[in-house]
Amino acid sequence: SSELTQDPAVSVALGQIVTITCQGDSLRSYYASWYQQKPGQAPVLVIFGKDNRPSGIPDRFSGSSSENTASLTITGAQAEDEADYYCNSRDNSGDHVVFGGGTKLTVL
């Protein structure tokens, strides 16, 4: 089992705010990064570090972290945001890279 825990599924009404969380003890020491994956496509980085967006990622995506929980927030969810979202960081030893189990986001 992964050392990073995500809720398997989350839903949000079109245009509303949604937060996807990732929990793990290693997150007290390491930031998480977040990836969006649509069916049949490779994951795409959407947030890294404290709250950094790569070029081309809409500013409705933001990140935050507190204690052992990292969060990805979408402010004003769009239909095209429906996807799987994965967090990524270090394991509890800090020596190895791990992924969360993924959260399937449904936009209603």
Site residues (vs another protein, CB under 8 A)? 2, 29-31, 33, 35, 41-45, 48-50, 52, 54, 84, 86, 88-90, 96-99, 101-102
Our CB check for another protein shows the closer of 54 and 58 to be: 54
Collapse the DSSP code of 63 into the 3-class scheme (helix H, G, I; strand E, B; otherwise coil) and give the result: strand
- Toward another protein, which CB reaches closer, 35 or 61? 35
Neighbouring-strand partners of residue 57: none
Nearer to another protein by C-beta: 7 or 76? 7
